[in-house]
Amino acid sequence: MIKLHGIALSNYFNKVKFVLLEYGIAFEEVINKLPLDEALLAHSPAGKVPFIETENGFLCESEVIVEYLNARYPECGIFAADPWQAAKERELIAFVETHLELEARELYGEAFFGGKVSDEVKATAEKRLRRYLASFKRIAKFAPYVAGERFGIADAAVYANLPLVAMATQRIYGADFVAEAGIDWKSYGKLIGERPSAQRVNADRKAYIEANS
């Protein structure tokens, strides 16, 4: 059985967990303390979560893990069967994770953890986030799902990451950049949040926060 390592506070851990739950893939959850100790760094060299343990060994990076699950369990249909639609799903994931969440992550220290971010970093992040949110809006359909009529892997990625972008910008700049870009992320989040898999992920995250606050 696959073992999913990480913490319920991690958006990327929750993305993979959402996928495992949504597609009925059996797994065991292993909660780790951060920073990872030396023994675990052998399995996740950058010290990041999530990573998974399989009968073949360990694998890190959330999107690599998802690709592995897609290849190992083709019957689940994690990506669309049509090659073009599957590529469009990957395109959406790249936008939300590389251009949006990774940029917004520069703000998390101050937005969520009581740290301080320099004015230079804030100015650069604002410019890039506004640019790429406009770009993301051009390719995201939200009809009603992010890639169109079918719920899919892109929804797991967007649901795990886009609210963090919105909340971080609200706390740092006093403005929700996602909403200002014309993306109704709250209605979308409510739609995805009705899924049992999302409800489980959310409940476990809240329980983790309460237990560690």
Domain ranges of the chain: 2-76, 83-211
Cis-peptide, bond into residue 74, ω within 30° of zero: no
Provide the pLDDT for residue 212. 86
180, 126 Cβ separation under 8 angstroms: no
Over residues 175-180, the mean pLDDT reads 98
Q: Is the pLDDT of residue 213 over 90?
A: no
What whole-number distance in Å separates Cα of residue 163 and Cα of residue 205? 14
Mean pLDDT along residues 152-176: 98
* Average pLDDT of the segment spanning 195-209: 96
With a cut of 90, say whether residue 99 has pLDDT above it.
Answer: yes
- Cα distance between residue 75 and residue 180, in whole Å: 39
Average pLDDT over residues 115-124: 98
Q: Is the per-residue pLDDT at 85 higher than 90? A: yes
Q: How many CB atoms lie within 10 A of CB 175?
A: 12
Please say if the pLDDT value at position 122 is more than 90. Answer: yes
Residue 176 · residue 170 · CB < 8 Å: yes
Mean pLDDT of the chain: 97
Q: What is the pTM of this model?
A: 0.95
Q: Residue 197 contacts by C-beta under 8 Å, 6 or more apart in sequence?
A: 18, 21, 22
Task: Tally the C-alpha atoms within 13 A of residue 74's C-alpha that lie toward its C-beta.
Answer: 3
Q: Which CATH number fits domain 83-211: 3.40.140.10, 3.40.50.300, 1.20.1050.10, 3.40.50.720?
A: 1.20.1050.10
Tokens describing residue 128? 């890039």
Predicted local confidence at residue 152, as pLDDT = 96
Fold observed for domain 2-76: Glutaredoxin (3.40.30)
